[in-house]
Each structure stands twice: as structure tokens, then as C-alpha cells.
Amino acid sequence: MKKTILTLSVALIILLSNCHAGNPVKTSATGGTDLVIPLTNVVFKQKVFNYEVNKNWKFEGNLPVIIDFYATWCSPCRQLSPIVEELAKKYDGKIIVYKVDTDKEPQLAQSMGIQSLPTLLFIPVKGQPQSSIGAIPKETLEKAIREVLLVK
């Protein structure tokens, strides 16, 4: 009896540990996928917009960007997060997706005029950024990717 329980326990552990073996998902230290990159104020100024040097908008990147401004305590932010991660995976190589924890990066949020959460900032390679406030549906986000970021 003990041997049977031990064998079943080992089999269950092996089965559960291989749940994602056919479809591995990388996760970052923040719990999201590696395709959604945590963004700091310093990196923002290097890769997106150096607001200390440029008074007018000047995008520093070479791929369109979505920036998800969020807070861990924000329920709509938690609802939007898996959708953002799914879109980062779908458009991998075509866009870059960043996340900014506004509690950890208040200067960055303030410099971009973020007053409500969640806020998504859509930054095309050419043209002005556009924002979206609130937990919006996936279809609306994909429309913004096509129409604002000009990505198909």
C-alpha cells in the first residue's frame, strides 16, 4: 500500500511538473512574460524619449512601443495585464511592450502625465504617442496596434 501511494505521488509530481512541457512560458521576475519588459525612468530616457534633453517629442526607438502604466494594487490593471502579455507574444518582433509600475517609477509616470490607471501609451516609430485609459478589450487594443502603431 505504501509503495502504491509513493508511486502515485511520484507520478503526480512528474505529471504536474511537465504541464507546460509542450508549451513552455518564460516568466520574468515580475511574474509577466519576458516579452513584457519592466521599464525604469533611466531606460525610458534611453530607449523611448529623453524628456530632459528634448522639449519636443523625439522617439528614440526603432520599433513601435506600447507602455503599460500600472500599479500592483489596481484591479483593472490586473485584468488588462494578461491581454497585454498575449499581444506582446502575438506581435513579438514587430512591437516592444514595456510595463511601468507607477509606484516604483513615479517620476516617469508624472513626466508622461499619467493620472489614471491603467494607462496604455501607444508610440509609433513616426508621429505622436496616443494613450488609452482603463481596461479596454483586446479587440480595441489590436485596432490601436494596427491604426496607431501601423503594425499588421
The catalytic residues are 74, 77
Residue 61, phi then psi, degrees to nearest 5: -95, 180
The helix (run of H) or strand (run of E) holding residue 68 is strand 65-70
Q: How many alpha carbons lie under 13 Å from residue 48 in its C-beta half-sphere?
A: 28
| Short-list 107, 132, 112, CA closest to 49 | 112
The whole-angstrom separation of Cα 47 and Cα 27 is 22
Contacts of 128 (CB under 8 A, 6+ apart): 57
